[in-house]
Chain A
Amino acid sequence: MVELAVFFVFAAVAVIFALVVILHRNPVVSALSLVASFFALAVMYVLLEAPFLAALQVIVYAGAIMVLFLFVIMLLNLQHQREETTRPIQQALGYVFSAAFGIGLIFYLIKYAWIRAEQTTPFNSDARAIGIRLFEAYVFPFEMVSILLLAAIVGALLLSQRTDLRGRPTTGVDHPSGQNPEGAAASPRTGQPSFDAGQPSPAAASRRADPHHEGAK
């Protein structure tokens, strides 16, 4: 009975904070609510007798990953941006489909809520058991993930570095206000994008005319 009460309290916490994540306008608040939602999920793991998973949930998700999220959000220094207006038909379709999906899920939840799970062998979730399975039965996918992460790191570096790989500073839409005073001056903050895709930016044009850069080839 106590378990059931704890479950419902933390289920409500998880759902409410999940709603805050998508509804709040301030991204910092969204990120912090996600942390709260993750904590509530960790309680679920405890209730399912998987304390090790609960600890991992707190350390990895609520701890490491969300702190990284917060750092990125704060470093990006997001201005309050107006959301792009979508066509009403798109919005309506979005609501209809997500409502249908939600109703379907609730329907199946109710349908299966009355089925008692058979008592099977207790789930062994201590660190040792998980480690053995990870490095024995699942060692192959585990190693595959390392390749995946390597590709992800390469991509993150490629997309985020400020100079292109030949050592020249990048100009253009990446950093319209950063290291590019000409570009910033050419288009005072009107809310319009500084440069059209087809039109080379003044800075890019000057770069092309600069014989030094030609020599750098």
Chain B
Amino acid sequence: MTWADTLLLLPELIAATGASILLIVPVLGGRARGHMAKWAMLALMAVTALAVIGSTYAVAGVQQTPTFRAMFAVDAFSVFFKLLFVVVIALVTLLSEDFLSEERYSTWEYYSLLAFALCGMMFMASGVSLITIYIGLELLALSSYILAGYYKNHEESTEAAMKYFILGTVSSAILLYGISLIYGVCGSMRLSTIAAALSTMLSNDALMFGIMLLAAGLCFKIAAVPFHVWTPDVYVGAPTPISAFLSTGSKAAAFAVFARVFYVAFPAFHLDWSNVLAAIAALSMIVGNLAAITQTNVKRMLAYSSISHAGYSLLGIIAMNEMGLRGILIYTMVYVFANLGIWATILMLRRHAYAGESVEDFRGLHKRAPFAAFSMVVFLLSLGGIPPTAGFIGKYFLFAAAVQAGFGWLAIVAVVMSAVSMFYYLRLVVAMYLEEGSGAETIYSPSLRFVTALSLTVTLVVGFIPELPIRQVIESSSHLVGRVVQR
């Protein structure tokens, strides 16, 4: 381990140090200045982003540099996800502003936990050994459990945190069990060593069992059916900005791990596990979309819709080809921004006795907040995958990858279910534009406006000029795809 190695860790070190500083400030008398916490957090995110970009220059020219005994790698793939995470956390910080001032909860600890979560997510994106990946995942999960229960005095929030905590720890145990079986068979936790060991091995029950348990644990984190039961309750009960974080950042991190582990470590047994994952993906799309139709609570509807989106993204892992990996990267980005925009609109309506939760609250929104209503339509179309928006590009890549890999039936299910999903997305559009009604009060703070505007820009830019993001994604994923092609 040298100084150069430590430099590669700079983003994680900054996030962890920043989180600790945010903890110390209130002790030193910053408690009264709660409103400063937001700016401190945004500054921390800016510095972290610079460090992430800087760390790429440290490894310029080298495609992959595993350090710390091949447990941690800074490569284009991890940098892509880390930048996405930093942006997500910065936007969640902006979303949280009103919630914190209104509910009068402590601000510094809240942001500190968000920074710890970011640190865990970055470890997940960079982990190339199952042990670092697992610890990063636990760091993210622990911070999320606490943040989900941040409304300490609300029964729903406490219940959400308890459910999330208990089911989350069970899933972590399952994940660990899988890791231990894989370690037992391969004798290593490094992804590349596992891949090398597996390439000379015949199919083996203990190994398959290990891979399945690992997949089950990860499916819990991305909320795929049948491991999805916690999602609606947690999204509804948790503080709204945290629901936004769980449905975007937390999921994106889990997908980064899912993609890296399966693309790097298990290509040898693709035939064995792809059918199981295909069943999970199909179930997620069907159950998620059909359950979303019947919901009248918008948060609950978004929860089921996020379950179905986990199903779509799984197509990229099942396909196991270049197109699939690119699809995961693009789709994760597209989905994250569309979702953050929708959550911002919900938060805007949230004032006074929990408005913004039912579809009725959206009635006649275009008169009261034309910009919010318009951007909401764009986000919903993007989630549905309608052409001029970014969602189309993401879905195109994923579905094409599935067809290429011979999973045509899965692509058909995905297309049909996307059509079904438009039904409940359009219901919101109808409520906003065609129905009259006073609806909920709207208070559109500058922060929420900024989040909406940024998400809208990304959604439209990726939709209209997809060449730019696609080139970036190809660069970010080529070294992982290289491994697939070699096999």
Residues of A at under 8 Å CB distance from B? Answer: 104, 108, 111-112, 137-141, 144-145, 147-148, 150-152, 154-155, 158-159, 164-166, 170-174, 193, 195-198, 204, 217
Contacts and interface: CB of A to CB of B under 8 A. Distances in A.
Contact of A173 (B135, B139, B158): B158
A98 B383 CA distance: 36
A158 B116 contact: no
B104 A173 contact: no
Interface string B126-137: 000101100110
Interface string B27-44: 000010000000000000
Interface size class of B (residues with CB under 8 A): 35 or more
Contacts, number: 103
A152 B142 contact: yes
A116 to B, nearest CB: 15
B71 A150 contact: no
25 contacts: A111-B205, A141-B71, A141-B129, A141-B131, A148-B142, A150-B19, A150-B20, A151-B19, A151-B116, A151-B120, A151-B142, A151-B143, A151-B146, A154-B112, A155-B113, A155-B142, A155-B145, A155-B146, A158-B146, A165-B109, A166-B104, A172-B153, A173-B154, A198-B354, A204-B153
Interface string B332-357: 00000000000000000000011000
A197 B206 contact: no
Contacts of B106: 158, 164-166
A197 B109 contact: no
A151 B113 contact: yes
A141 B135 contact: yes
Contacts of A159: 146, 149, 152, 161
B234 interface: no
Given A141-B71, A151-B139, A197 B131 contact: no
A108 B20 contact: no
A139 B129 CA distance: 13
Which DSSP category, helix, strand, loop or mixed, fits chain A's interface?
A: helix
Interface string B405-437: 000000000000000000000000000000000
Contact of A197 (B119, B156, B205): B156
Contacts of B206: 108, 112
Nearest to A172: B153
Contacts of A141: 71, 129, 131-132, 135
A197 B104 contact: no
Contact of A195 (B136, B155, B161): B155
Nearest to A155: B146
A197 B139 contact: no
Contacts of B143: 151, 155
B69 A137 contact: yes
Given A140-B132, A173-B158, A147 B139 contact: yes
B334 to A, nearest CB: 30
A108 B116 contact: no
Contacts of A140: 68-69, 71-72, 132
Contact of B31 (A150, A154, A166): A166
A158 B109 contact: yes
B337 to A, nearest CB: 27
Interface string B207-239: 001000000000000000000000000000000
Interface in B86-124: 104-106, 109, 112-113, 116, 119-120, 123
